[in-house]
Structures are given as C-alpha cells and as structure tokens.
Amino acid sequence: MVGPATLAAALLGGCAAQAPSSTALPSIYLPLASNSAHIDVEAARDMISSYRRNRGAPPLTVDPELQRLAEAEAAAMALADRPSRAQTVKAAVERLGYANVNANLSAGYHTLAEAFSGWRESPPHDATMLAPGATRMGIATAFAPGSKYKVYWALLTAK
C-alpha cells in the first residue's frame, strides 16, 4: 500500500520531470543595467534595419568607427550622469567626414526592446532610425549604477 506522502511525492516528481526547459531570452529583452551587460549590436542592427525596410529606407551596416564613437559617447554620458546634446555629437561626427549624421542619445531604457519602442514613439528619435540618407550605424550602452537612469544609450546613423 502506498501512503499519501509517497503518492504526493511521486505525483510532484512526475510534474517536475515534465516541466518544459527554460529557454534563454532573446537578446533584445536582456537587461543592460549591469557592468557585465553588453548590447547585442547585430540584433540592434537587424531590428532597426528591418524597421527601415518596412518603411522604404535601406538597411544599415555597423560601421566600426561609428560603433567606437557610440561607445565613447554612451560612456561619457554615463560618467556625466546626463544625456549629451545631439547637435554637439552630430557636429563632432561630421568633422570626421560622415554625412547625414543623426544621433539618438537617451537614458533610462533597460533593454534594447524598450529603447527601440521608446525611439519609435518619439518623432526626433524615430527620424534618426529612419533617416533616408543613412547607410551606417553604431549603437552602444553604458551602465551608471548610481544614476537614476542606470543605462545610457547612443545610436549614431550616417552616410
């Protein structure tokens, strides 16, 4: 004869054995509010390029120099604990020989999905993602643990 405790253990054990295995979150949903977190640049490129294609704009490629500049700008904003002025950053990138420069500089989004959604809802940020003359991009985040924003973002697009 099987006792109630044995029966309950057997039933619960069977349930646990049949539970689906957990899968990793897609990188666009991974939290970026830690020192060890890094944005998935390729996923960002693919998401923004798909958005652009759906609206008649050409896809973007990641430009190593724009990527380096985005990383430096995100780090500078995190260090200063405030977003930079887009006009200042755009002028600096233009001095390096890029044309049609646009910049999304923001803070407070903790995942790529949040940033993308927020940028789509903001006409100036949306215009940066959809800039018709842009063919290249760089995107980066920086974590500021003591900041109310926690994560700073820099998206640069240019030709």
pLDDT along the chain (159 residues), means of 10: 46 45 80 93 98 97 97 96 90 93 96 97 97 97 96 97
CA 93, CA 137: separation in Å to the nearest integer?
12
Q: Where does residue 128 fall: left (phi above 0), alpha (psi -120 to 50 degrees), or beta otherwise?
A: alpha
User: What's at 109, amino acid-wise?
Assistant: Y
User: What's at 156, amino acid-wise?
Assistant: L
Q: Residue 16: its pLDDT value, please?
A: 44
* pTM for the model: 0.83
User: What's at 3, amino acid-wise?
Assistant: G
User: What's at 98, amino acid-wise?
Assistant: Y
Residue 109, Cβ density class (10 Å: 0-12 exposed, 13-18 middle, ≥19 buried)? buried
Q: What is the dihedral of CA 113, 48, 125, 131, to 10 degrees?
A: 180
Q: Residue 4: its pLDDT value, please?
A: 47
Q: Residue 24: its pLDDT value, please?
A: 86
